[in-house]
Amino acid sequence: MECLKRRILREGRLQQGRFLSLDHFLTHRIDIDLMQQIGVEFHRRFGDCQINKILTIESSGISVACLTAVQFGVPVLVAKKSRHPENYPADFFRSKVKSYRHDTVYDILVSKRELTRDDRVLIVDDVLANGGAMSGLIDLVQISGATLVGAGIVIEKTFEPGGKLLRQRGVRVESLAKIAGVDEKGKITFEE
Protein backbone atom coordinates (compact mmCIF):
# COMPACT_ATOMS: atom_id res chain seq x y z
CA MET A 1 0.00 0.00 0.00
CA GLU A 2 1.71 3.11 -1.23
CA CYS A 3 -0.29 5.46 1.03
CA LEU A 4 0.88 3.45 4.06
CA LYS A 5 4.51 3.56 2.95
CA ARG A 6 4.30 7.33 2.52
CA ARG A 7 2.93 7.71 6.07
CA ILE A 8 5.69 5.52 7.47
CA LEU A 9 8.35 7.60 5.71
CA ARG A 10 6.77 10.89 6.72
CA GLU A 11 5.81 10.11 10.33
CA GLY A 12 7.73 7.03 11.54
CA ARG A 13 10.40 7.85 14.13
CA LEU A 14 13.31 5.77 15.38
CA GLN A 15 13.40 5.46 19.19
CA GLN A 16 16.22 4.19 21.39
CA GLY A 17 18.21 3.46 18.26
CA ARG A 18 16.15 0.42 17.24
CA PHE A 19 12.38 0.78 17.69
CA LEU A 20 10.29 2.37 14.98
CA SER A 21 7.56 4.52 16.53
CA LEU A 22 4.32 4.72 14.56
CA ASP A 23 2.43 6.54 17.31
CA HIS A 24 1.27 9.43 15.17
CA PHE A 25 -1.05 7.40 12.91
CA LEU A 26 -1.16 3.74 13.96
CA THR A 27 -0.68 3.02 17.64
CA HIS A 28 -1.37 6.11 19.76
CA ARG A 29 -3.18 8.57 17.57
CA ILE A 30 -5.16 6.47 15.11
CA ASP A 31 -5.90 7.68 11.60
CA ILE A 32 -9.37 6.22 10.99
CA ASP A 33 -9.33 6.90 7.24
CA LEU A 34 -6.06 4.98 6.92
CA MET A 35 -7.42 2.15 9.11
CA GLN A 36 -10.47 1.89 6.82
CA GLN A 37 -8.21 1.65 3.79
CA ILE A 38 -6.22 -1.08 5.54
CA GLY A 39 -9.44 -2.96 6.32
CA VAL A 40 -10.48 -2.76 2.67
CA GLU A 41 -7.08 -4.08 1.58
CA PHE A 42 -7.19 -7.02 4.01
CA HIS A 43 -10.69 -7.82 2.73
CA ARG A 44 -9.38 -7.72 -0.85
CA ARG A 45 -6.65 -10.20 0.09
CA PHE A 46 -8.67 -12.55 2.33
CA GLY A 47 -12.27 -11.90 1.23
CA ASP A 48 -12.76 -15.31 -0.35
CA CYS A 49 -11.67 -17.27 2.76
CA GLN A 50 -15.05 -17.48 4.57
CA ILE A 51 -13.67 -15.83 7.69
CA ASN A 52 -16.09 -15.59 10.61
CA LYS A 53 -13.77 -14.20 13.33
CA ILE A 54 -10.89 -11.75 13.47
CA LEU A 55 -8.39 -12.28 16.29
CA THR A 56 -5.90 -9.75 17.62
CA ILE A 57 -3.95 -9.06 20.78
CA GLU A 58 -4.43 -6.06 23.03
CA SER A 59 -3.84 -3.27 22.49
CA SER A 60 -2.29 -1.79 19.34
CA GLY A 61 -3.92 -4.28 16.98
CA ILE A 62 -7.47 -3.54 18.10
CA SER A 63 -8.13 -0.55 15.83
CA VAL A 64 -6.84 -2.39 12.76
CA ALA A 65 -8.84 -5.50 13.67
CA CYS A 66 -12.06 -3.56 14.22
CA LEU A 67 -11.97 -1.69 10.94
CA THR A 68 -11.01 -4.89 9.12
CA ALA A 69 -13.92 -6.70 10.78
CA VAL A 70 -16.30 -4.05 9.47
CA GLN A 71 -15.29 -5.05 5.94
CA PHE A 72 -15.93 -8.74 6.66
CA GLY A 73 -19.04 -8.21 8.79
CA VAL A 74 -17.64 -10.42 11.56
CA PRO A 75 -16.75 -9.97 15.26
CA VAL A 76 -13.31 -9.24 16.70
CA LEU A 77 -11.80 -11.35 19.47
CA VAL A 78 -9.14 -9.64 21.58
CA ALA A 79 -6.61 -11.87 23.31
CA LYS A 80 -6.04 -10.41 26.77
CA LYS A 81 -2.54 -10.09 28.19
CA SER A 82 -2.10 -11.29 31.74
CA ARG A 83 0.81 -11.74 34.10
CA HIS A 84 -1.61 -13.46 36.48
CA PRO A 85 -3.54 -16.01 34.37
CA GLU A 86 -4.60 -17.83 37.53
CA ASN A 87 -7.09 -14.99 38.03
CA TYR A 88 -8.99 -16.15 34.93
CA PRO A 89 -11.42 -19.07 35.06
CA ALA A 90 -10.59 -22.40 33.43
CA ASP A 91 -12.79 -21.65 30.43
CA PHE A 92 -10.03 -19.65 28.70
CA PHE A 93 -7.47 -20.87 26.19
CA ARG A 94 -3.97 -19.78 27.22
CA SER A 95 -0.69 -19.29 25.42
CA LYS A 96 2.67 -17.77 26.40
CA VAL A 97 4.14 -14.77 24.58
CA LYS A 98 7.65 -13.36 24.84
CA SER A 99 7.89 -9.63 24.34
CA TYR A 100 11.31 -8.83 22.94
CA ARG A 101 10.72 -5.10 23.25
CA HIS A 102 9.92 -5.28 26.98
CA ASP A 103 11.93 -8.46 27.71
CA THR A 104 9.02 -10.14 29.49
CA VAL A 105 6.91 -13.26 29.15
CA TYR A 106 3.18 -13.12 29.73
CA ASP A 107 0.10 -15.20 29.04
CA ILE A 108 -2.56 -14.33 26.50
CA LEU A 109 -6.09 -15.59 26.96
CA VAL A 110 -9.25 -16.01 24.88
CA SER A 111 -12.57 -17.37 26.09
CA LYS A 112 -13.35 -20.93 25.00
CA ARG A 113 -16.92 -19.78 24.42
CA GLU A 114 -15.76 -17.24 21.81
CA LEU A 115 -13.19 -19.30 19.88
CA THR A 116 -14.43 -22.71 18.76
CA ARG A 117 -13.57 -25.46 16.31
CA ASP A 118 -16.25 -24.10 13.95
CA ASP A 119 -14.41 -20.79 13.48
CA ARG A 120 -12.37 -19.66 10.48
CA VAL A 121 -9.97 -17.08 11.88
CA LEU A 122 -7.95 -14.24 10.41
CA ILE A 123 -5.33 -12.89 12.80
CA VAL A 124 -4.70 -9.14 12.39
CA ASP A 125 -1.96 -7.09 14.02
CA ASP A 126 -0.18 -3.79 13.52
CA VAL A 127 3.50 -4.79 13.43
CA LEU A 128 5.34 -8.08 12.92
CA ALA A 129 8.97 -8.17 14.06
CA ASN A 130 10.13 -11.21 16.04
CA GLY A 131 6.77 -12.96 15.86
CA GLY A 132 6.21 -13.59 19.56
CA ALA A 133 2.68 -12.18 19.71
CA MET A 134 1.69 -13.79 16.41
CA SER A 135 3.01 -17.18 17.52
CA GLY A 136 0.97 -16.93 20.71
CA LEU A 137 -2.18 -16.04 18.74
CA ILE A 138 -1.58 -18.93 16.33
CA ASP A 139 -1.20 -21.27 19.30
CA LEU A 140 -4.58 -20.11 20.66
CA VAL A 141 -6.25 -20.85 17.31
CA GLN A 142 -4.62 -24.29 17.14
CA ILE A 143 -5.50 -25.16 20.75
CA SER A 144 -9.13 -24.23 20.10
CA GLY A 145 -9.37 -26.46 17.04
CA ALA A 146 -10.41 -23.50 14.86
CA THR A 147 -9.06 -23.03 11.33
CA LEU A 148 -6.38 -20.40 10.84
CA VAL A 149 -6.94 -18.71 7.48
CA GLY A 150 -3.94 -16.40 7.71
CA ALA A 151 -2.35 -13.35 9.26
CA GLY A 152 -2.92 -9.79 8.10
CA ILE A 153 -0.04 -7.54 9.13
CA VAL A 154 0.02 -3.79 8.63
CA ILE A 155 3.83 -3.45 8.82
CA GLU A 156 6.32 -6.31 8.69
CA LYS A 157 9.96 -5.72 9.61
CA THR A 158 11.53 -8.21 7.22
CA PHE A 159 14.96 -7.65 8.81
CA GLU A 160 13.54 -9.35 11.93
CA PRO A 161 12.84 -13.14 11.94
CA GLY A 162 9.07 -13.17 12.68
CA GLY A 163 7.67 -13.30 9.15
CA LYS A 164 10.09 -16.01 8.04
CA LEU A 165 9.30 -18.13 11.10
CA LEU A 166 5.53 -17.85 10.56
CA ARG A 167 5.82 -18.72 6.87
CA GLN A 168 7.97 -21.75 7.80
CA ARG A 169 5.06 -22.85 10.01
CA GLY A 170 2.85 -22.76 6.91
CA VAL A 171 0.97 -19.57 7.84
CA ARG A 172 -0.24 -17.35 5.01
CA VAL A 173 1.16 -13.93 5.97
CA GLU A 174 -0.03 -10.85 4.07
CA SER A 175 1.87 -7.69 4.99
CA LEU A 176 0.80 -4.31 3.63
CA ALA A 177 4.22 -2.68 4.03
CA LYS A 178 7.51 -4.53 4.41
CA ILE A 179 10.35 -2.61 5.99
CA ALA A 180 13.70 -4.03 4.89
CA GLY A 181 15.76 -1.84 7.18
CA VAL A 182 16.14 1.27 9.28
CA ASP A 183 19.60 2.80 9.50
CA GLU A 184 21.08 4.58 12.52
CA LYS A 185 19.82 7.93 11.20
CA GLY A 186 16.27 6.63 10.90
CA LYS A 187 16.25 6.20 7.11
CA ILE A 188 13.66 3.55 6.24
CA THR A 189 13.94 1.24 3.23
CA PHE A 190 11.15 -1.00 1.97
CA GLU A 191 11.19 -4.44 0.46
CA GLU A 192 9.32 -4.62 -2.83
Q: Is 131 among the annotated ligand-binding positions?
A: yes
CATH number at 44 reads 3.40.50.2020
18-48 pLDDT, tens digit each: 677 777 777 777 889 999 999 999 999 999 9
Q: How many CB atoms lie within 10 A of CB 83?
A: 9
83-126 pLDDT, tens digit each: 776 666 789 899 999 877 677 888 999 999 999 999 999 999 99
Determine the length of the chain: 192
Cα separation, 134 vs 162, in Å, equals: 8
Closest to 121 (Cα-Cα) out of 60, 163, 72: 72
Cα separation, 112 vs 117, in Å, equals: 10
Q: Is 116 among the annotated ligand-binding positions?
A: no
Q: Provide the residue range defining the domain that includes 150.
A: 2-190
Determine whether 48 is exposed, middle or buried from the number of CB atoms within 10 Å of its CB (0-12, 13-18, 19+). Answer: exposed
pTM above 0.95, yes or no: no
> How many domains in the chain?
1
Q: Is 130 among the annotated ligand-binding positions?
A: yes
